[in-house]
């Protein structure tokens, strides 16, 4: 966990778990792609980093298709953050003194999301019909 002043790319190497190499690594196009690709390949990871268009060099159709495929997985994760931001009125900010308090708030937020999602999954699709008396 880092504060907002630290960019994701600065801690990219720290969050990789060398014991879990069987899963692909997803990242957005702001990560320095060529350097990260080499790092991931050397460590045995499968890279799913988005390709990035540059000034006067648009993405090819194949690159756009590849990015769309990568996004189909990432959107499932982004849905959780959107639910927390909109439905739970958490703007993405955790304002506390000390990281332990922040971790408690984040844990409770995650628990609340999981309970809400569980309720959505087990809820009946329609209202039950009342038995005639």
Q: Specify which residues 24 forms β-bridges with.
A: 46
Of 15-19, 89-93, 121-125, minimum mean pLDDT range: 89-93
**pLDDT tens digits along 23-59:** 788 777 666 667 777 878 888 888 787 777 778 888 8
* Cα angle for residues 15, 43, 81 (degrees, 5° grid): 30
Helix (H) or strand (E) holding 26: strand 24-27
In a domain, residue 118? The reply is: no
For 15, the domain range is 8-75
In this prediction the pTM is 0.54
Provide the number of structural domains found in the chain: 1
Residue 122 maps to a domain: no
Is 90 part of a structural domain of the chain?
Answer: no
Is a pLDDT exceeding 80 seen at residue 62? yes
Residue 98 lies in a domain: no
Query: Does any domain span residue 1?
Result: no
Which is nearest to 38 in space by CA: 12, 57, 64? Answer: 12
Distance CA 47, CA 39 (A): 10
Mention every residue, 6+ apart, whose C-beta is less than 8 A from residue 27: 8, 12, 36, 48, 49, 50
Q: Is residue 47 part of a domain?
A: yes
Helix (H, G, I), strand (E, B) or coil at 64: helix
* Domain assignment of residue 35, yes or no: yes
**Residue 113 domain-assigned (yes or no):** no
Give the integer Cα–Cα distance in Å for 9 and 11: 6
């Amino acid at each position: 966990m880092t504060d907002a002043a630290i960019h994701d790319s600065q801690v990219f190497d720290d969050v990789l778990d060398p014991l879990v190499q069987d899963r692909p690594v997803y990242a957005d196009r702001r990560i320095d792609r060529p350097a990260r690709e080499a790092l991931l390949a050397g460590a045995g990871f499968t890279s799913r980093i988005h390709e990035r268009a540059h000034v006067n060099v648009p993405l090819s159709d194949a690159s756009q298709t590849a990015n769309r495929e990568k996004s189909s997985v990432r959107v499932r994760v982004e849905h959780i953050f959107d639910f927390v931001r909109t439905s739970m009125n958490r703007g993405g900010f955790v304002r506390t003194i000390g990281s332990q308090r922040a971790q408690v708030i984040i844990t409770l937020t995650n628990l609340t999301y999981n309970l809400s999602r569980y309720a959505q999954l087990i809820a009946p699709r329609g209202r039950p019909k009342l038995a005639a008396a």
